[in-house]
Structure 1
Amino acid sequence: MNLLIMGLPGAGKGTQAAKIVEKFGVAHISTGDMFRAAMANQTDMGLLAKSYIDKGDLVPDEVTNGIVKERLGQADIKEKGFLLDGYPRTIEQAHALDAALADLGIQLQGVINIEIDSSKLLERLSGRIIHKETGETFHKVFNPPAAGYNENDYYQREDDKPESVKRRLEVNMAQGDPIIAHYREKGLVHDIEGDQDIEIVFSDIDKVLSNLV
């Protein structure tokens, strides 16, 4: 089974990806893992990526696409299938992935799209607070400190502040929407309601995937 998993930050993509891998035995491929492995194994694309990273430059799309294709060509993918997580990030990468899969003779069978309203994600992602003295992490809504806590004793990282989170979600939506539309045209997208208990979300995913096997 060859799959993509998509969803905005905070939608629970990582949690569900782990459950899919455990249940269906596919290879979990994340971009970070791919880069680390390619560089550690000193593949052609890994060495090229390292040359950019060492200079502090962004790795160009063609190198990222090459690393993905290199990984998808390995023996375990043919044997087990894959769940691709964190790629493609742009519509250009989606077209490159289509071409790579065609070259490798691999067929994509489904795109799991975990959907949650962005306002709920904003609440999830911007609620994290950190105790100034202990460094302990809490969440204003889901894991608050003791009742009547003093807000002055806590701080938020810049990345967790509502304006930063809102910007991040907007960027992700602008990049992700065309990718979802692209795969929807191919009849591959399965929308999953993400604002449910983790086990219910996985049960919905399980039903979809069990029909693809």
Structure 2
Amino acid sequence: MDATVRPLRIPPEMAIYAEKHDIFHLVQTLVRNVMVDKPEDPIQYLINFLKRDRFDGKFLLLLFISVFYRTNIPFGLSITPYRMCQTLALSFNSFLTVMLEAPDVVLIERSLGQRIDPVTGDVYHVTFMWPESEEVAQRLETPSTLMPADLIAKKLQRFHTEAHALKRTYHSCLKTINADQPHVDVFSQVLNYVRTPRHSASPYTPRILLFGPPGSGKSLQAKLIAQKYGIVNICCGELLKAVSADESHMGELIKPYLESEQQVPSSIVLRILTERLSRMDCTTRGWVLHGFPQDVEQAEELQESNFIPNRVFFLEITDDIAIERVTLRGVDPVTGEWYHSIYKPVPGPEVQARLRFNPRHSEAQLLKRLKEYWNHTADLQAFYPQAVHINADQDPHTVFESLESRLVGRLPKILSNQETFES
């Protein structure tokens, strides 16, 4: 093949590395901070920025009305950005945002009931937190900074005016918590929100594996996924046939196996498959693969080649359903249309007369293929413990909806407890 027309291939390690280290987020953070801060010397600014211990800008932003009797959250930043200009500036760096809300009557009661110990400076409340010591209780005073009820009401009105805009600004990362409950419960809810794994905003390339017995609908589901999301549909069997049909060295190598209906050696299949998966369209658009791997050894070889799926599905049907679906279907050699005795009957006797049935679809052959599939399924499921199991004994579009619901969500970016508290 002329080197000038040879397909451009991108090493799979590049995509894996970018996703593992969240390169998209890193670049986005650098560009965002440069555009917000507008330094005179952008290069030196970026150098200094990268020298920081942490530069991902993760912190907790608490939105509240300052008359709250609120718990101290021992991490992050507590601030009340009333005006939208403050909010927009902060929103560039805020990843986790919590808004504490409570009825106005509760807030006013909390504010007016505050008392302070002039000796220690500790703050108490006549209803919610009265000191156990009678001596301390005797010396409590009303804080000199305590606002009258009418001023508190004005401040609440101002907060409510800005609250809608604040929620709209932080809608993608906002958690609203009812503060009219014990502070321990408020803290627990905030902590749970912080510890919840965040979904990375980084784009990811779908790398999908479909497993399933014959007749489970792998080819159809792969076709539907590829059509809707523009990713590359790779059927291992069809790929081998296409390679065999060309005049390449690899095509001549596998042709005898296909003509004699023997299994192509895994090493050759892997070479053909990795060559296809490394092309530009698969690297940039993603791929959905079915027909390979067929056992754990092939799965390990695929992973060692750095083609690691980020979505794995097992389409599940019983053997009886598989036999019904496969053995009763035939093809019209004139039109190439497939028909099924139950699900898609032939339109007339003329088509019925010329219908052809694949010998591999006989019940005896199918039972052998099913036995081979089930012999390796348990090991493959153990190899891919995060795989999703889909009931394929349903309408094809219902099956597709089940698959799609697990495709559209972003991959979760798991944070350890240490990372969470340091953020």
Aligned counterpart, 1:203: 401
**Contact 1:5/1:113, CA 8 A, preserved across alignment:** yes
| Structure 2: 5+ residue stretches without partners | 1-205, 332-337, 347-354, 412-423
1:212–1:10 Cα change, 3 Å: farther
CA apart distance, 1:170: 1.3
Indicate how the Cα distance of structure 1 residues 156 and 24 shifts in structure 2: closer, same or farther if over 3 A, else same: closer
Question: Does 1:174 find its partner at 2:375?
Answer: yes
Quick one: percent identity of the two aligned structures?
A: 27
Q: Distance in 2 between matches of 1:14 and 1:112?
A: 13
In 1: Cα distance, 2:214 partner to 2:270 partner = 22
1:169 positional shift: 1.2
Q: Which has the higher contact order (CA 8 A, sep 6+)?
A: 1
Aligned length: 192
2:268 aligned residue (63, 74, 90): 63
**Structure with the higher fraction of residues in helix conformation:** 1
Contact 2:270 2:302 in 1 (8 A): yes
Secondary structure in structure 1 of the residue aligned to 2:407:
helix
1:85 positional shift: 1.5
Greater radius of gyration (CA) = 2
SS of aligned partner of 1:114 = strand
**For the residues of structure 1 that align with 2:356 and 2:227, how far apart are their CA atoms?**
37
Cα pair distance change 1:75/1:121, threshold 3 Å: same
Query: Pairwise mapping of residues 180-195 of structure 1 onto structure 2 (< 5 A)?
Result: 180-184=381-385, 187=386, 189-195=387-393
State the 1:97 CA deviation. 0.3
Instruction: Letter of the 2:369 partner, please give it.
Output: R
SS of the counterpart of 2:305?
A: helix
1:111–1:183 contact (8 Å) kept in structure 2? yes
Structure 2-normalised TM-score?
0.40
| TM-score, length basis structure 1 | 0.75
Whether 2:317 is the aligned partner of 1:119: answer no
- Which amino acid in the other structure matches residue 2 of structure 1? R
Match of 2:297 among 80, 87, 92: 92
For structure 1, list consecutive stretches of 5 or more residues without a partner in the other structure: 131-135, 146-153
**CA distance in structure 1 between the aligned counterparts of 2:381 and 2:405, rounded to whole angstroms:** 20
Distance 1:182 1:127, change over 3 A: same
Shift of 1:193: 1.0
Q: Contact conserved, 1:46 with 1:67, CA < 8 A, in 2?
A: no
Q: Report the aligned-residue RMSD.
A: 3.2
Aligned to 2:228: 23
Flag the 1:34–1:128 CA change in 2: closer, same or farther, 3 A. closer
Residues 68-91 of structure 1: CA deviation (Å, up to 9, x unaligned): 111122111211111111111222
Q: Give the Cα–Cα distance (whole angstroms) in 1 for the partners of residues 356 and 239 of structure 2.
A: 34
> Which of these residues, 109, 120, 131, is aligned with residue 310 of structure 2?
109
- CA distance 1:190–1:162, change in 2 (3 Å): same
